[in-house]
């Protein structure tokens, strides 16, 4: 059993834990053409025979360590380009790390890194997926580590692409930015059993558009209003006639259904296209929707109560009837770099979607979850 | 280093001397990956129970679902030839494991770091 502790406390941590916060630690990628800071993905190799006996004695794990290193040697951005050096404060027209920039490659974060070109922001709750883990031909076509950036602070006077998911090819140590889930930031993305060799299904949980800033002005939260205004100016109001609002976590639990071997436009991809052969270039997001009406003649299953409030008094295992509704937005590659993470609101308005706290107010993110290959049939 | 921490934020933290000694130990020889045996997780929160805590030691280890042992800790350094002195970064948030070959288990772990947005690492 593997277990990790997400511990921010100093009280029960060794002094080394405190120390690690205070040195800067960059890692090169793409043959040294760019440097990254922020979140890392690392590996430790253990002797298998010694590990099998590890819980039977009191010796430390160091006695069975046989290797260690970085798991990221190459990073590919949302355009499919190797990430390169940042062009200072000007646009990086080729090889930008789009989680840090606008759609033109201009750096957009609230602060610049001290020693690196870019940084991976708050990689959160990854999941390692094994090839065909649900049966012969069913599931991903490669072993991969699926992770996601979580939240960010952007400069309030700049536009930005947002935060994508990332798929790490464990064989080549290549980290691919994945845009099919939107660029809203996430808590956790986990593969589920599609039951079919041509499709993959992933559960998508957690954040959306968690981009406000609360540590500049005491007791005041700053929201990226400029990007909301830009979205309304370019695309107009939502289909209900109301303008888009700050989207933080106004999103239901989602499922992504991807088709293997397809490019963004649905055409056939070459077999050496890692994201395409794993169904991560062409697919559809769905959100769980229920009837939220609470009217004289029509009452939905929660009588109009939103998810967070409903769960305060729900019984364990309680069922709520609903449907999975497709989101109109779909990743098309470069074109959707400018979607500004707000599309979910239109999706939410067209149907009664199972958000945490309504269509215009956020509450809690959808939680982490796991998928058990043994129980999925 | 000692002067820096005596005049800085560390001086305001309980057990600052123990933390400083740990830093000095790290500066001299470090702890190799997997050498720490103390656990970060607690079976119960010492802040809530009032249990006596000791720097560098495990807290309550009476876990309901069995024994835990440490595989690696943030801050430990590699003594492996392919990555000399590389530190395991924190805070860990996401882990997986697979067989590299018949004799080797590879544990992959990512850190939740924030670049320049918060304490840069």
Give me the average pLDDT of each 10-residue run along chain A (377 residues): 52 41 74 96 98 96 97 97 97 97 94 94 93 97 96 91 95 97 91 97 87 86 87 80 81 91 97 98 90 86 85 87 84 74 61 61 60 44
Predicted local distance difference test score (pLDDT) of residue B68: 93
Predicted local distance difference test score (pLDDT) of residue A10: 37
Predicted local distance difference test score (pLDDT) of residue A319: 86
- For residue A7, give how far its alpha carbon lies from the nearest alpha carbon of chain B (Å): 7
Measured between beta carbons, which residues in chain A are less than 8 angstroms from residue B87?
20, 23, 25
Predicted local distance difference test score (pLDDT) of residue B22: 67
Residue A324: phi and psi, rounded to 5, are -90, 115
Predicted local distance difference test score (pLDDT) of residue A209: 83
Question: Between residues 5 and 64 of chain B, which touch chain A (CB distance below 8 Å)?
Answer: 10, 13, 18-23, 25-26, 31-42, 46-47, 53, 55-56, 58-59
CA distance linking residue A21 with residue B89, whole number of Å: 8
Partner residue opposite B112 with nearest CB, options A13, A18, A39: A39
To the question of pTM greater than 0.80 for the whole model, the response is yes
Helix (H) / strand (E) containing B28: helix B16-28
Question: What does pLDDT average to over chain B?
Answer: 84
- For residue B15, give how far its alpha carbon lies from the nearest alpha carbon of chain A (Å): 9
Lowest mean pLDDT segment, chosen from A167-171, A312-316, B5-9, B42-46: B5-9
Residue A4 and residue B55: Cβ atoms within 8 Å? Answer: no
- Return the SS3 of B82: coil
Measured between beta carbons, which residues in chain B are less than 8 angstroms from residue A111?
115-117
- Return the SS3 of B52: coil
Residue B96 and residue A128: Cβ atoms within 8 Å? Answer: yes
Predicted local distance difference test score (pLDDT) of residue A365: 60
Predicted local distance difference test score (pLDDT) of residue A71: 98
Candidates A242, A267, A237, A248; CA nearest to A208 is A248
Q: How far is CA A240 from CA A2, A171, A237, A296, A347, in A?
A: 47, 47, 8, 23, 11
Residue A7 and residue B41: Cβ atoms within 8 Å? Answer: yes
- For residue B62, give how far its alpha carbon lies from the nearest alpha carbon of chain A (Å): 15
């Amino acid at each position: 059993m593997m277990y990790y502790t997400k511990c921010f406390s100093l009280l029960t941590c060794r002094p080394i834990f405190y120390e690690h916060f205070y040195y800067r630690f960059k890692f090169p990628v793409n043959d040294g053409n760019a440097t990254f800071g922020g979140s890392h993905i690392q590996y430790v190799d253990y002797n298998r025979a010694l590990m099998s006996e590890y819980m039977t004695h009191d010796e430390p794990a160091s006695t069975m360590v046989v290797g260690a290193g970085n798991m990221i040697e190459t990073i590919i951005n949302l355009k499919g380009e190797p990430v390169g050096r940042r062009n200072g404060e000007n646009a990086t027209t080729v090889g930008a790390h789009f989680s840090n920039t606008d759609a033109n490659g201009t750096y957009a974060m609230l602060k610049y890194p001290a020693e690196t070109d870019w940084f991976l922001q708050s990689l959160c709750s990854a999941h390692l997926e094994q090839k065909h883990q649900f049966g012969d031909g069913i599931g991903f076509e490669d072993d991969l580590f699926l992770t996601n950036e979580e939240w960010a602070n952007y400069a309030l006077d700049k536009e930005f692409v947002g935060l994508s998911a990332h798929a790490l090819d464990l064989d080549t140590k290549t980290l691919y930015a994945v845009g099919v889930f939107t660029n809203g930031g996430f808590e956790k993305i986990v593969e589920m059993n599609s039951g079919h060799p041509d499709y993959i299904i992933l559960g998508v949980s957690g954040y959306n558009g968690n981009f406000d800033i609360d540590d500049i002005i005491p007791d005041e939260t700053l929201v990226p209003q400029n990007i909301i205004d830009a979205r309304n100016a370019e695309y107009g109001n939502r289909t209900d006639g109301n303008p888009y609002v700050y989207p933080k976590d106004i999103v239901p639990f989602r499922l992504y259904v991807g088709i293997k071997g397809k490019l963004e436009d649905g055409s056939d991809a070459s077999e050496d296209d890692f994201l395409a052969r794993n169904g991560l270039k062409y697919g559809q997001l769905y959100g769980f929707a229920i009837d939220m009406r609470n009217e004289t003649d029509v009452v939905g299953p929660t009588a109009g109560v939103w998810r967070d409030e409903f769960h305060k008094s729900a019984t364990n295992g309680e069922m709520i009837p609903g449907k999975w509704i497709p989101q109109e937005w779909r990743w098309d590659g470069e074109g959707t770099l400018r979607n500004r993470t707000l599309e979910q609101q239109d999706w939410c308005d067209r149907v009664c979607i199972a958000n945490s706290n309504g269509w215009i107010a956020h509450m809690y993110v959808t939680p982490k979850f796991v998928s058990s290959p043994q129980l999925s049939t | 280093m000692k002067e820096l921490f005596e005049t800085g934020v560390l001086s305001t933290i309980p057990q600052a001397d123990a933390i400083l000694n740990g830093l000095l130990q790290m500066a001299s020889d470090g702890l190799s990956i997997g050498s720490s045996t103390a656990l970060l997780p607690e079976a119960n929160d010492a802040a809530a129970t009032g249990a006596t805590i000791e720097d560098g030691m495990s807290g309550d280890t009476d876990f309901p679902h069995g024994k835990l042992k440490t595989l690696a800790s943030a801050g430990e350094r590699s003594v492996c030839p392919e990555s000399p002195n590389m530190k395991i970064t924190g805070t860990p948030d996401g882990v997986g494991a697979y067989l590299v070959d018949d004799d080797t288990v590879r544990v992959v772990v990512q850190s939740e770091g924030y670049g320049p947005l918060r304490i840069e690492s």
